[in-house]
Homo-oligomer: A and B are copies of this chain.
């Protein structure tokens, strides 16, 4: 199946600069796809700090289990990622496959197995053979280069229609620091560790425990605030590495003034990646931003925002460029948290469509209709009860989503 490139694709998709401490190689392992790369090997020549957040699925994949178990060691030397097969729900075989790949990578780099991180994305439940991957790792380790970020982002794609990269360079306590990130998404995207895979690497020097705390903080407004189809993957993995640079004393405490500088930039980068994931949601034609204010608490606001962002009827209306705000009311009503129908105010973009429990008297179908033809639709709901607020991002539900997912395995 060939997918149309998302109309929400960023205008510039550019190679990122080389980053000290990390070398990258990609290859064609032929796991599922033909004539494209499907294997990524990221090599850290010296030990680097590492942090990660993973799916909250009760049925996680074997690779997720390996990463979770290895994280407390706090050191990374290599990352192996394949697309085409998620190696999830593959039982003992799947665990063996993961172990074989990890063992081969550790052996190649002459490091410990819990210093190798691994992620797999693609079909669930199909046994995956390790041999095609294992045999490629030694030559990949040799040819891996600084740079190659665009190739890395391409190798981990599944039904993504564009590679996802983001970068930030900023002053952090008098030193220039860079963060690069890649991600893949497309389907099975929901909050509570949202995207399927994302790898973020900085050249800053940061202890692993601080890195973990930064990541947990930065993920809330980014990957944990997006949803494509409310379906939570078995394989969601977001990892952050810090390779460390000279003249940059290690950040080991939250009271270090550079901590918040870094978190802010990290948050912005993750947000950019997360929005790229939504913009490339399967079949997506519109990016939807849902902003809820005036709820009793921030949590209540997020529950309402997700109820709107996940509603099939809201998402199909946006696909049809139909300002069907009645369905927004429905989604507010079904969220189950405290609301008062007659205090709701609803805007599409800048246009107030409903107020005081009914259609806004100034409502103009033509004006709203023109707004709905834009690619980025903002739905704002004020609940009128308190100060709780939240914003989440989603995409529309189109015929293409159904077509892509009706026959994914073939």
A residues near B (Cβ < 8 Å) are 55-60, 86, 88-94, 123-127, 187-188, 190, 229-234, 310-313, 316-317, 319-320, 322, 324-327, 329-339, 341-342, 344, 354, 356-359, 397-399, 401-403, 405-410
Instruction: Using A333-B59, A402-B316 as known contacts, say yes or no to A125 and B326 having CB atoms under 8 A apart.
Output: yes
Instruction: Using A329-B89, A358-B89 as known contacts, say yes or no to A398 and B402 having CB atoms under 8 A apart.
Output: yes
Note all chain B residues with C-beta closer than 8 A to A359: 89-91, 125-127
Note all chain B residues with C-beta closer than 8 A to A57: 330, 333-334
Instruction: Using A313-B188, A316-B401, A399-B402 as known contacts, say yes or no to A59 and B332 having CB atoms under 8 A apart.
Output: yes
Note all chain B residues with C-beta closer than 8 A to A58: 332-339, 341
Q: Are the CB atoms of B233 and A124 closer together than 8 Å?
A: no
6 extra A-B contacts, CB within 8 A, seeds A60-B341, A126-B326: A124-B330, A231-B334, A312-B312, A320-B405, A399-B402, A402-B402
Q: Are the CB atoms of A322 and B406 closer together than 8 Å?
A: yes
Q: Which of A56, A320, A335, A410 has the most CB of B within 10 A?
A: A320
Q: Are the CB atoms of A329 and B91 closer together than 8 Å?
A: no
29 inter-chain pairs at a CB distance below 8 angstroms, sorted by A residue, are A55-B333, A57-B333, A58-B332, A58-B338, A58-B341, A59-B333, A60-B333, A88-B326, A88-B329, A89-B326, A89-B358, A89-B359, A90-B358, A90-B359, A124-B324, A124-B327, A125-B325, A125-B358, A127-B359, A187-B313, A188-B330, A190-B334, A312-B397, A313-B405, A316-B401, A320-B408, A398-B402, A399-B402, A399-B403
Q: Shortest beta-carbon distance, A58 to chain B, in Å?
A: 5
Instruction: Using A58-B339, A402-B316 as known contacts, say yes or no to A93 and B358 having CB atoms under 8 A apart.
Output: yes
Note all chain B residues with C-beta closer than 8 A to A88: 326, 329
Q: Shortest beta-carbon distance, A390 to chain B, in Å?
A: 17
Q: Shortest beta-carbon distance, A336 to chain B, in Å?
A: 7
Note all chain B residues with C-beta closer than 8 A to A316: 401-402, 405-406
Q: Which of A86, A89, A331, A397 has the most CB of B within 10 A?
A: A89
Q: Are the CB atoms of B125 and A354 closer together than 8 Å?
A: yes
Q: Shortest beta-carbon distance, A279 to chain B, in Å?
A: 18
Q: Shortest beta-carbon distance, A131 to chain B, in Å?
A: 19
Q: Shortest beta-carbon distance, A18 to chain B, in Å?
A: 37
